[in-house]
C-alpha cells in the first residue's frame, strides 16, 4: 500500500465497500459497524441483510467503509440482500442514532436495529413491496379531509404567550402548568402551526394507557390529517404499518411512548413531550436511553421547537430553566379559573389506635368519603402496593412468605388465593398451614389494595368500590373497561395504585386521598421524594376536573410526618418551593443535576463473583479522570430469580469527563469479563433514574 494514497488503495482492494450497522453489542470484539462489499452502490440508510459468521442478519447501510479490514480474514463478504424499495433512513436519523449509541454506550447497530419495528427486519423484498403497495393505496385521499374543527377555544393570555414563544425560541421550552391549565390546547395549536407548514409532529407520552385519550383529542382536532401511534402494545403488523407511514411521510402526527423518539420522520417540525418528568421515559433494559433527553437533542439538531410539558418538571429540567438553557412558559391557572383542590394533611399520630386492628382510614377521611358518595360524587384512594398483604407470617415459628428465588417477600393475593412474587413471577397457592411448623394460624401483615378495598367496603356499606391496579387491569381492554364504569358513574370509590393518578380525566372525582405515602420520604433513592411529590400533585389534579365541583375538591394525605417540607409544599401547591429545597439538597450532596452518574451493573449466581468483577473494573478507572467510583453495593432487591445483582456508581462533576471515562473504560471491561467465570451479565446505565 502506497503511503500517500491509502484510501485509494483500500477502495481498489475492496471493490465497492460500505459500512453496515449490524446487531452486535458494542463491546463484543467486533464493534457495531462492519464493512461489506456490494455490487451496486447502496445509499446509506438502506435496509440490508448481511452474512455474519454462519448466520444472515439484518443490517443498515451506514456510510463509507471504515477500512477496518483486519476483522475480515479472507476479504470482505458481500451484502446478501438490499431492500431498495424502502426509502433509505435519513442522514438525520442515522446521526441521531449514532449520537444516542455513543452517549448511552451501546453498539450503533445494536441500537439502530432494536428501535426499528421487529417485523421490518424480517421482510423480504416481495413482502415489503406488498406492504408498501397497500399503504400507498390507503394513503390516497387521506389528506383532503376537513381543514380543522370549526370552534376553537379562545386562548388565554398565557396560552397565547406560550404559543408565540414556540414560534420564536431556539431553546427547549418547558410548558409548566397544573392539570387542566390548558397545556394540551397549546400542544394542539403548536401542532396546527407545524402541520400547516407541511411538517410532521411527534408527541411522546409516558404510558401506553394515555395514548387513546390524547389520540382522540388530536384526531378530533385534525380530522384531515393522518395520525398514527407507536408503542410496544401494538400488534407487530400495526407497529410496522404505523412506522412505515411515519417513515414514508404519510403520517402527519405520530403519538407514542418512549420508543417513538426513534421514529423515522422525514418532515419532523415539532416535538412534544407530555409529562416530561415521568420516569417511564427512561428505558430500563438494553440501551437505557432517556426518550425525553433524546427528544431534546433531536429537536435541537434539527433546529425545531421541543415542548416539554409538566405540572411538576423533573429537577433536571428545572435546573436547565434556572440556568437559562431552557425557557419556561407558565400556565399558572386552571382553565376557567377553577380552584385547585384543597390539600389536607392528616396527622395519623394524633388518632387513637383501635386495639388489635390497625387503623385503615382516619375517621374524618371515612366521613368525607361518605359525604361524597351521598352527593353522587366520586372518591379515589391511592395505595402504592397491590395484592392483599405484602407478606404472610406465622406467629408460632416466625416463618414469613419469602420468595425462594428472590430477596423479596411473596405477596398474598386473596382474590385468587396465591402467594406471588412480584419480581420473578413465582405464584403458588396459599398454604393452609405454616410450611415450617404446621401452625394453622398464618396471618397477613400490612396492607395492599385488595385489603384496602375490602376494609373500605366495611366502612362504607353500600358504596360501589372498584379496585384498579396492575392485577385488576391485566388483559386487553380491562383498564378501559374499568375506567368506563367509573366515567359512567357506576363506581363510587376507586381504590388503586399510581395507575389511577396518571392523566385520566375523571369528571366526578372530588376527593383524592393518599393512604400511606410516607415510605418515599425516607427511601435510599434520592429521587424518591421528587417522584412522590409529582405523584401527589398529579393525583390532586384528578380531583375537581369539572369546574362545577372544583370548589369542594380535596386531596387528603395520611401521614405520620405532617411537618415534612414535602407536604407543606404540596399543601401550598408550590412546586417551586419544593424544587428549590430539593435542588439545594442535591447541590450539597453533589447529586444530579449537579453531577452526572453512571451505574455499572453486574449479575451472577454468586454475589461475590459480581462484586469481584466490579472491583476489578474499578481498578481500571483512570484516577486522574475526574470520576469518582463508589464501592459495589446490592440494589434494594438484590436477588431476582436466583440471580444476584450488584451495582457500582460512578459520579463526576462533568458530564463530558464521565463520557470520556466510560468510552475508554467499557471496552476494557469486555476483556476483563473473561477473567470472571460465572459472571452472567454486565451493563452500564448512563444517567440512571433509580439507584
Ligand atoms: P392540560 O393539558 O393542562 O390538562 P387541557 O389543555 O386539557 O389542560 O385543558 C383543560 C380543559 O380546558 C380542556 O377541556 C380544554 O379543552 C379546555 N381549554 C383549554 N384551553 C382553553 C381555552 N383557552 N378556553 C376554553 N377552554 C379551554
Ligand atoms: Zn410456623
Ligand atoms: Zn421471586
Cell of 115: 428501535
β-pairing, 47-52 vs 81-83, is: antiparallel
Atom of ligand 1 nearest to the CA of 331: 3
How far apart CA 121 and CA 484 sit, in angstroms, is 38
378 Cα to the center of ligand 1, angstroms: 22
Helix (H) / strand (E) containing 95: helix 91-103
Given a contact cutoff of 8 angstroms between Cβ atoms, the answer to whether 341 and 555 are in contact is yes
How far apart CA 295 and CA 315 sit, in angstroms, is 17
pLDDT score, position 13? 41
Sign of CA pseudo-dihedral 64, 69, 71, 72: positive
pLDDT band for position 144 (50/70/90)? Answer: very low
Tell me the best of 191, 335, 541 to mutate to test the pocket of ligand 1, counting ligand atoms within 8 Å of each CB and taking the most. Answer: 335
- Backbone φ and ψ for 321, nearest 5 degrees, come out as -70, -45
Residue 545 in contact with ligand 1 by CB distance below 6 A: no
Residue 538 in contact with ligand 1 by CB distance below 6 A: no
**Neighbour order of strands in the sheet with 378-382:** 342-347, 554-559, 509-514, 378-382, 493-496, 465-468
Residue 181 in contact with ligand 1 by CB distance below 6 A: yes
| b/e per residue 482-503 (b: at least 16 CB within 10 A) | bbeebeeeebbbbbbbbbbbbb
Tell me the best of 149, 184, 540, 575 to mutate to test the pocket of ligand 1, counting ligand atoms within 8 Å of each CB and taking the most. Answer: 184
414 Cα to the center of ligand 2, angstroms: 20
pLDDT score, position 10? 43
Please state whether the predicted TM-score (pTM) of the whole model is above 0.75. Answer: yes
Residues in a beta bridge with 272 = 203, 307
Most confident stretch, 21-35, 471-485, 656-670: 656-670
**Neighbour order of strands in the sheet with 253-256:** 227-230, 253-256, 200-204, 268-274, 306-310, 173-177, 327-331
The yes-or-no verdict on residue 419 having pLDDT over 50 is: yes
Tell me the average pLDDT of the chain.
90
Select the more confidently predicted residue: 24 or 674. Answer: 674
pLDDT score, position 286? 87
Residues in the chain: 691
Closest ligand by atom to 394 CA:
2
Whether omega for the bond prior to residue 593 falls within 30 degrees of 0, making it cis, is yes
Q: What is the mean pLDDT of residues 127-131?
A: 91
Residues in a beta bridge with 60 = 21, 47
531 Cα to the center of ligand 1, angstroms: 25
**Residues whose Cβ atom is located within 5 A of ion ligand 3:** 403, 405-406, 421, 423-424, 426
Per DSSP, the three-state class of 549 is: helix
Residue 245 in contact with ligand 1 by CB distance below 6 A: no
- For 425-484, write each residue's pLDDT tens digit: 999 999 999 999 999 999 999 899 999 999 999 999 999 999 999 898 888 788 888 989
How far apart CA 184 and CA 164 sit, in angstroms, is 15
User: Which distant-in-sequence residues (6+ apart) come within 8 Å of 13 by Cβ?
Assistant: 69
Chain centroid, CA 564 distance in Å: 28
Given a contact cutoff of 8 angstroms between Cβ atoms, the answer to whether 138 and 132 are in contact is no
337 Cα to the center of ligand 1, angstroms: 11
Cell of 283: 428505558
Beta strands in 315-462 (DSSP E): 327-331, 342-347, 378-382, 391-394, 411-413, 418-420, 427-429, 442-445
Look-up of cell digits 451505574: 599
Residue 184 in contact with ligand 1 by CB distance below 6 A: yes
Atom of ligand 1 nearest to the CA of 311: 3
Burial (CB count <10 Å: 0-12, 13-18, 19+), residue 3: exposed
Given a contact cutoff of 8 angstroms between Cβ atoms, the answer to whether 641 and 405 are in contact is yes
pLDDT score, position 356? 41
The yes-or-no verdict on residue 31 having pLDDT over 90 is: no
Burial (CB count <10 Å: 0-12, 13-18, 19+), residue 322: middle
Ramachandran category for residue 182: left, alpha or beta (phi over 0 → left; psi -120 to 50 → alpha): left
Tell me the best of 179, 185, 221, 575 to mutate to test the pocket of ligand 1, counting ligand atoms within 8 Å of each CB and taking the most. Answer: 185
Cell of 331: 400556565
Closest ligand by atom to 399 CA:
2
Chain centroid, CA 386 distance in Å: 20
- For 177-232, write each residue's pLDDT tens digit: 988 899 999 999 999 999 999 999 999 999 887 778 889 999 999 999 999 999 98
Of all residues in the chain, the percent with pLDDT exceeding 70 is 92
pLDDT band for position 505 (50/70/90)? Answer: confident
Residue 180 in contact with ligand 1 by CB distance below 6 A: yes
| b/e per residue 28-47 (b: at least 16 CB within 10 A) | eebbbbbbbbbeeebebbbb
Q: Which of 50, 25, 172, 19 is nearest to 101 (CA)?
A: 25
Tell me the best of 155, 159, 177, 180 to mutate to test the pocket of ligand 1, counting ligand atoms within 8 Å of each CB and taking the most. Answer: 180
pLDDT score, position 349? 85
Look-up of cell digits 438494553: 286
β-pairing, 643-652 vs 627-629, is: antiparallel
Residues in a beta bridge with 444 = 392
Q: What is the mean pLDDT of residues 103-115?
A: 93
- For 47-90, write each residue's pLDDT tens digit: 999 998 889 999 999 988 877 654 555 678 999 999 999 999 99
Given a contact cutoff of 8 angstroms between Cβ atoms, the answer to whether 314 and 276 are in contact is yes
Given a contact cutoff of 8 angstroms between Cβ atoms, the answer to whether 262 and 115 are in contact is yes
Given a contact cutoff of 8 angstroms between Cβ atoms, the answer to whether 229 and 256 are in contact is yes
Q: How far is the CA of 610 from the CAs of 242, 626, 640, in angstroms?
A: 42, 25, 14
Nearest CA owner, ligand 1 atom 24: 153
Residue 179 in contact with ligand 1 by CB distance below 6 A: yes
Residue 182 in contact with ligand 1 by CB distance below 6 A: yes
pLDDT score, position 94? 97
Nearest CA owner, ligand 1 atom 26: 153
Nearest CA owner, ligand 1 atom 9: 182
Q: How far is the CA of 358 from the CAs of 361, 412, 443, 455, in angstroms?
A: 9, 18, 14, 11
Residue 333 in contact with ligand 1 by CB distance below 6 A: no
User: Which distant-in-sequence residues (6+ apart) come within 8 Å of 560 by Cβ?
Assistant: 347, 348, 349, 518
Q: Which of 309, 333, 312 is nearest to 550 (CA)?
A: 333
Amino acid at each position: 500500500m502506497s503511503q500517500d494514497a491509502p484510501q485509494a488503495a483500500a477502495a481498489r482492494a475492496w471493490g465497492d465497500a460500505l459500512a453496515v450497522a449490524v446487531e452486535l453489542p458494542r463491546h463484543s470484539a467486533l464493534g457495531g459497524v462492519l464493512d461489506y462489499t456490494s455490487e451496486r452502490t447502496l445509499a446509506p440508510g438502506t435496509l440490508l441483510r448481511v452474512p455474519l459468521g454462519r448466520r444472515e442478519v439484518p443490517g443498515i447501510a451506514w456510510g463509507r467503509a471504515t477500512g477496518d479490514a483486519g476483522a475480515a480474514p479472507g476479504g470482505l463478504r458481500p451484502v446478501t440482500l438490499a431492500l431498495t424499495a424502502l426509502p433509505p433512513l435519513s442522514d438525520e436519523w442515522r446521526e441521531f442514532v449514532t449520537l444516542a449509541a455513543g452517549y448511552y454506550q451501546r453498539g450503533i447497530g445494536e441500537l439502530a436495529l432494536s428501535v426499528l419495528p421487529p417485523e421490518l427486519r424480517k421482510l423480504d423484498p416481495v413482502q415489503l413491496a406488498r406492504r408498501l403497495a397497500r399503504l400507498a393505496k390507503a394513503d390516497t385521499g387521506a389528506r383532503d379531509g376537513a381543514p380543522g374543527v370549526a370552534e376553537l377555544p379562545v386562548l388565554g393570555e398565557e396560552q397565547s404567550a406560550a404559543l408565540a414563544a414556540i414560534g420564536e425560541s431556539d431553546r427547549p421550552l418547558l410548558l409548566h402548568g397544573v392539570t387542566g391549565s390548558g397545556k394540551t390546547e397549546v400542544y394542539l395549536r403548536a401542532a396546527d402551526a407545524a402541520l400547516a407548514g407541511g411538517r410532521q409532529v411527534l408527541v411522546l407520552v409516558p404510558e401506553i394507557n394515555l395514548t387513546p385519550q390524547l389520540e382522540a383529542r388530536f384526531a378530533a382536532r385534525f380530522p384531515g390529517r393522518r395520525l398514527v401511534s407507536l408503542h410496544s402494545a401494538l400488534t407487530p403488523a400495526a407497529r410496522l404499518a404505523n412506522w412505515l407511514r411515519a417513515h414514508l411521510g404519510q403520517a402527519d402526527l405520530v403519538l407514542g411512548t418512549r420508543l417513538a423518539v426513534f421514529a423515522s420522520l422525514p418532515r419532523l417540525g415539532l416535538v412534544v413531550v407530555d409529562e416530561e418528568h415521568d420516569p417511564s421515559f427512561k428505558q430500563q433494559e438494553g440501551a437505557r436511553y432517556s426518550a425525553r433527553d433524546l427528544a431534546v437533542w433531536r429537536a435541537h439538531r434539527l433546529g425545531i421547537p421541543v415542548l416539554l410539558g409538566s405540572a411538576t418538571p423533573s429537577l433536571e429540567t428545572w435546573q436547565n430553566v434556572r440556568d437559562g438553557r431552557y425557557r419556561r412558559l407558565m400556565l399558572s391557572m386552571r382553565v376557567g379559573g377553577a380552584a385547585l383542590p384543597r390539600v389536607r394533611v392528616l396527622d395519623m399520630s394524633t388518632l387513637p389506635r383501635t386495639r388489635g386492628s390497625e387503623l385503615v382510614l382516619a375517621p374524618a377521611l371515612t366521613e368525607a368519603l361518605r359525604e361524597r358518595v351521598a352527593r353522587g360524587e366520586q372518591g379515589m384512594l391511592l395505595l402504592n402496593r397491590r395484592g392483599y398483604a405484602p407478606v404472610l407470617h406465622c406467629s408460632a415459628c416466625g416463618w414469613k412468605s419469602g420468595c425462594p428465588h428472590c430477596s423479596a417477600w411473596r405477596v398474598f393475593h386473596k382474590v385468587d388465593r396465591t402467594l406471588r412474587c412480584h419480581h420473578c413471577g413465582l405464584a403458588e397457592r396459599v398454604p393452609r398451614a405454616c410450611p415450617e411448623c404446621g401452625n394453622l394460624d398464618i396471618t397477613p401483615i400490612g396492607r395492599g389494595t385488595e385489603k384496602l378495598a375490602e376494609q373500605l367496603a366495611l366502612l362504607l356499606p353500600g358504596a360501589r368500590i372498584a379496585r384498579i391496579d396492575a392485577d385488576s387491569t391485566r388483559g386487553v381492554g380491562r383498564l378501559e373497561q374499568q375506567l368506563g364504569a367509573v366515567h359512567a358513574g357506576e363506581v363510587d370509590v376507586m381504590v388503586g395504585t399510581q395507575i389511577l393518578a396518571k392523566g385520566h380525566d375523571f369528571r366526578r372525582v372530588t376527593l383524592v386521598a393518599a393512604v400511606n405515602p410516607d415510605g418515599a420520604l425516607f427511601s435510599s433513592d434520592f429521587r424518591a421524594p421528587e417522584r412522590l411529590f409529582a405523584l401527589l400533585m398529579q393525583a390532586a389534579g384528578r380531583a375537581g376536573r369539572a369546574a362545577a365541583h372544583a370548589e369542594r375538591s380535596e386531596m387528603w394525605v395520611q401521614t405520620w410526618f405532617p411537618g415534612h417540607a414535602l407536604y407543606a409544599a404540596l399543601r401550598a401547591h408550590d412546586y417551586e418551593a419544593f424544587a428549590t429545597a430539593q435542588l439545594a439538597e442535591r447541590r450539597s450532596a453533589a447529586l444530579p443535576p449537579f453531577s452526572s452518574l453512571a451505574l455499572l451493573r453486574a449479575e451472577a449466581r454468586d454475589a461475590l463473583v459480581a462484586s469481584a468483577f466490579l472491583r476489578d473494573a474499578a481498578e481500571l478507572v483512570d484516577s486522574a479522570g475526574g470520576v469518582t467510583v463508589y464501592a459495589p453495593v446490592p440494589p434494594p432487591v438484590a436477588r431476582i430469580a436466583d440471580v444476584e445483582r450488584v451495582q457500582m456508581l460512578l459520579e463526576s462533576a462533568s458530564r463530558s469527563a464521565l463520557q470520556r471515562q466510560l468510552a475508554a473504560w467499557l471496552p476494557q471491561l469486555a476483556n476483563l469479563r473473561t477473567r470472571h467465570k460465572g459472571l452472567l451479565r454486565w451493563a452500564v446505565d448512563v444517567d440512571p433514574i433509580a439507584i
